[in-house]
Structure 1
Amino acid sequence: MSIAQVEIPMGVPYEVIQEKICASQTIFNKIGEKMMVIACDAIQADLNLREGNMSCSLFCKTLKYGLGQFSEVVSYCLERLADITCWGTDHDASWGTVFLVHSLKVKEKLGIHKALQFIGDVHLMGNNEVTAVSLFTVALDGFTYMNVHRSRAECMIRLGDIAKKNGDLPKALELWKTGRPLFECLSQAKRIQDIDERIGGISEEVKEQHQKNLVWLAELNIPAGWVEEVDSDTEDLSWRKNMLN
Structure 2
Amino acid sequence: MKNILIVEDDPDIRSNLKELLELEEYWVWEARSGVEGLQVFQQESIDLVISDIIMPEMDGLEFCRQIRNSQTGKLTPFIFWSGKGELSEKKKGYNYGADEYLVKPCSLEELKLKIEALLERTERIHREIASLLQKSTVPLTESPPPRENISQHQNISQHQKPESFSQFKKLILTTAEERVFFEVIQGYTNKEIGEHLFVSDRTVQAHLRNILRKLNLKNRSHLVRFAFEKGYKPQQNSVNF
- Give the TM-score category using the shorter length: under 0.3
Q: Which has the higher helix share?
A: 1
- The TM-score normalised by the length of structure 1 is 0.23
Query: Which of these two proteins has the greater Rg computed from alpha carbons?
Result: 1
Bigger relative CO (Cα 8 Å, ≥ 6 apart) = 2
Q: TM-score, normalised by structure 2?
A: 0.23
Higher strand share: 2
